[in-house]
Structure 1
Amino acid sequence: MIKYAERINSLPPYLFAAIDKAKAEIIKKGVDVINLGIGDPDMPTPPHIVDAMKKSIDNPARHKYPSYEGMLSFRTAAADWYRRTMNVTLNSEDEVLTLIGSKEGIAHIPLAFLNPGDVSLVPDPGYPVYNIGSILASAKPFKMPLLAGNEFLPDLDAIPKDVAKKAKLMFLNYPNNPTSATASIKFFEEVVDFANEFEIIVVHDDAYSEMTYDGYKAPSFLNASGAKDVGIEMHSLSKTYNMTGWRLGFAVGNSEILAGLGKVKTNVDSGAFEVIQEAGVAALTGPQDCVRDMNNIYKERRDALLTGLKELGLDVKPPRATFYVWAHVNGKAADFSKMLLEKAGIVATPGIGFGEYGEGYVRFALTQSVDRINEAVNRMRKLDI
């Protein structure tokens, strides 16, 4: 009999794989499904990025193994982008590390810093990989509840002192998935103080920093005084430039922390394809109007969905970042999502899938046209919600 390792047996089912399976079953029945579930942009990668890839693929020099830390040209482009976009100065030599998508970096960093039995501080609800990566490192995730009463920010004072003393890593993510909450520099400065007090490494997942609306500008964790002394920030080209399938991201910040992550990566992967990195250079250094245009489209979709959900009596607040709407619903989140799928052909993600404190919420992704979102609202009107 084939037996899995205990670390595999201890993993929860991966949320989005389960959603894909349920969606496929409904599609087999001939239902026209409107997918507002997984946050995968429906618009194509901007043409100038694709053109850069096409040009690079014809260069035989790009067909070889890449460097483990990533091309210097890509890391320099990332450092320059951070300076322009975040007002953060980075040394591209040792304060930028190329990732095969930020998910890869998030999953691997616990292996560099967590010993069996160590504690990681994980937001709940949160992106499942924070928790999963910690479990794979044989560490003990400690849930930091993200509650509406605290604007979906973790209450650092509520973390027991004995837990904080054992903690080695803290994961944060603002603008936040799934709640779409945002954080201030003041909050990040409180995190820096907390990290210094308990000698904790902070890993800030900043995948949604450029998806903002209504004049809002999301700060970088590294904007906080002393942040680079205690942590790193991970960024992804996936959502900003519609490059989810390309698998390209980067980590920036504390050089010693990045070196630790780099040691893991050199042993488990061979780096990002240089053709993709050259496309990434085009994304980071090229015209940024594509980002603004996509945000305008997401804002139109956001407003259409918010109008419909409020008419239906759901408790929702307009997100000023990410492309998610976090809606409070009646009853259990899984039951609500199941009803939407089976009775209306709508995929929405139950908040409980992001952690126990996501119960009572459903996440809608703005990854369908306004017409399809309006159709989804019309279908919901026919339900008793």
Structure 2
Amino acid sequence: MNDDFYRIRRMPPYVFAEVNAMKAAARARGEDIVDLGMGNPDGAPPAHVVEKLAEVARDPRAHRYSASKGIAGLRRAQAAYYQRRFDVALDPDSEVIVTLGSKEGLANLAQAITAPGDVVLAPNPSYPIHQFGFIIAGAAIRSIPAAPGPDFFTRLEFAIRYTVPKPTVLVIGYPSNPTAYVADLDFYRKVVDFAREHKLWVISDLAYAEIYFGDTPTPSILEVLGAKEVAVEFTSMSKTYSMAGWRIGFAVGNPTLIAALARVKSYLDYGAFTPVQAAAVAALNGPQDIVAHNRALYKGRRDCLIESFGRAGWEIQKPEASMFAWTPIPEPFRHLGSMEFAKRLLAEAGVAVAPGVGFGEEGEGFVRIALVENEHRLRQAARAVKKFLASAD
């Protein structure tokens, strides 16, 4: 019997699994670990959202199969969000689909639009599903810069000119995970123009749309005139509303891509549990205090991290958005590489971070720090880091 499965061969062992196993073992021994590794929100959704979940769950009819593309009310609520937040009009029937989190949506869209041997342009470093969703679907990946600067478009031109076969899809995501880079509307205009000229589909990941720390809100690529001709955008309830475990996300935009995703999903799932979708409607249509609260929460944690780790001897660049800080390994430890450094930091300081190499080879030399512990715990981590750095020699 052959156990050399084709798609498994294309997926290296998950880099974060080793660090996660070390965390679990340390906790089993009773050790206190300050976990800044996984981007797992520690807050709770608003009370009215939880109440709506319970209310609808009491209805015996709510326990039947749901709708694969999402209940109509939730698709309308997402369209209304785009209208008020970005001034973008969406047809809830043809331009909006509900996904089981943005990660599932990205992977299923990759399955829907990818043929074996297709070439996909994806940022490096980036959230793993941006690359591996397409690798699992049989595509080849050509890396482009994660930063939205001049080199981004230079590399895009090279990729179009010298790649055979010609790339079919461009993946972008800002505010980005793990790097926290941000993009403006001028960047998106250039992306849309480039995609229309070269007949590329664009997939934009906007999961951190509402976690920005400056005065200017994060834009959407769909604000650009003509973007819906080439682009689809993914968003998520996870961070904005502290609903990560609920697994509710959306894809919106180009109706051809939305229809392709809907076709694949119709074979694979019956949609999220109806009470969860009803509660998501309550989150989108109800009071939005949680959005501002979470933005302020992560900003406060960011500032605490920068200040306390800086005093400990680890200077961290201040992110403008997202719930992450992306930072080089401290100089005395750089020779270890990000994986070994993360393991040492966990074992010797009790602080967990995500090794940069887990986000692509361009992430080597960096670690990602998630703002998922309160300020007291961040200061506790900083004290442990200070002792750890003092042992560098």
Contact 2:37 2:354 in 1 (8 A): yes
Query: Are positions 1:135 and 2:135 aligned together?
Result: yes
3-state DSSP of counterpart to 2:281: helix
Which aligned pairs between 1:45-194 and structure 2 lie closer than 5 A? Answer: 45-146=45-146, 155-163=155-163, 166-194=166-194
Counterpart CA distance in 2 for 1:283 and 1:164 is: 45
| 1:18–1:46 CA distance, 2 compared to 1 (3 A) | farther
Counterpart CA distance in 1 for 2:91 and 2:107 is: 24
Deviation by residue 1:126-178 (Cα, 9 ceiling, x = unmatched): 11112111111111111113259869899433435132862111111101000
| 1:317–1:264 CA distance, 2 compared to 1 (3 A) | same
Equivalent residue, structure 2, for 1:237? 237
Contact 1:340 1:347 in 2 (8 A): yes
Contact 2:222 2:228 in 1 (8 A): yes
Deviation by residue 1:339-375 (Cα, 9 ceiling, x = unmatched): 2101001100011110011111111000001000000
Deviation by residue 1:205-253 (Cα, 9 ceiling, x = unmatched): 1100001113231000111221111010011101111111111111100
Counterpart CA distance in 1 for 2:285 and 2:295 is: 19
Equivalent residue, structure 2, for 1:355? 360
Counterpart CA distance in 2 for 1:151 and 1:196 is: 20
Contact 1:147 1:357 in 2 (8 A): no
Aligned amino acid, residue 34 of structure 1: V
The normalised TM-score by structure 2 is 0.93
Contact 1:144 1:155 in 2 (8 A): yes
Counterpart CA distance in 1 for 2:268 and 2:350 is: 40
3-state DSSP of counterpart to 1:167: coil
3-state DSSP of counterpart to 2:189: helix
Equivalent residue, structure 2, for 1:374? 379
Equivalent residue, structure 1, for 2:341? 336
3-state DSSP of counterpart to 1:383: helix
In the alignment, structure 1 segments of 5+ residues that lack a partner are none
Q: How many residues align?
A: 385
> How far 1:334 moved relative to its partner?
1.6
> How far 1:21 moved relative to its partner?
1.4
Aligned amino acid, residue 281 of structure 1: V
Counterpart CA distance in 1 for 2:255 and 2:16 is: 33
Aligned amino acid, residue 32 of structure 1: D
Counterpart CA distance in 1 for 2:50 and 2:153 is: 37
3-state DSSP of counterpart to 1:291: helix
In the alignment, structure 2 segments of 5+ residues that lack a partner are none
Contact 2:240 2:290 in 1 (8 A): no
3-state DSSP of counterpart to 1:218: coil
Contact 2:36 2:370 in 1 (8 A): yes
Contact 1:144 1:154 in 2 (8 A): no
226-235 or 155-164, larger mean C-alpha shift: 155-164
Counterpart CA distance in 2 for 1:355 and 1:370 is: 30
Which aligned pairs between 1:226-375 and structure 2 lie closer than 5 A? Answer: 226-329=226-329, 330=331, 331=334, 332-375=337-380
3-state DSSP of counterpart to 2:238: helix
3-state DSSP of counterpart to 2:239: helix
Contact 1:153 1:183 in 2 (8 A): no
Equivalent residue, structure 2, for 1:32? 32
Aligned amino acid, residue 107 of structure 2: A
> How far 1:295 moved relative to its partner?
1.5
Counterpart CA distance in 2 for 1:34 and 1:209 is: 26
Percent identity, aligned pairs only?
39
Contact 2:16 2:355 in 1 (8 A): no
Contact 2:148 2:182 in 1 (8 A): no
| 1:72–1:249 CA distance, 2 compared to 1 (3 A) | same
Contact 1:241 1:283 in 2 (8 A): yes
Deviation by residue 1:311-354 (Cα, 9 ceiling, x = unmatched): 34444321121110111123122222122101001100011110
Counterpart CA distance in 1 for 2:105 and 2:81 is: 19
Contact 1:146 1:154 in 2 (8 A): no
Deviation by residue 1:239-279 (Cα, 9 ceiling, x = unmatched): 11111111111110011110011111111111121111101
Counterpart CA distance in 2 for 1:343 and 1:236 is: 35
Contact 1:182 1:321 in 2 (8 A): yes
Counterpart CA distance in 2 for 1:256 and 1:149 is: 30
Contact 2:212 2:295 in 1 (8 A): yes
303-312 or 373-382, larger mean C-alpha shift: 303-312
Contact 1:124 1:145 in 2 (8 A): yes
264-273 or 76-85, larger mean C-alpha shift: 264-273
3-state DSSP of counterpart to 2:388: coil
Which aligned pairs between 1:9-20 and structure 2 lie closer than 5 A? Answer: 9-20=9-20
The two structures, once aligned, show a CA RMSD in angstroms of: 1.9
Counterpart CA distance in 2 for 1:278 and 1:154 is: 45
Counterpart CA distance in 2 for 1:168 and 1:153 is: 16
Contact 2:306 2:315 in 1 (8 A): no
3-state DSSP of counterpart to 2:183: coil
Aligned amino acid, residue 346 of structure 1: V
Aligned amino acid, residue 111 of structure 2: L
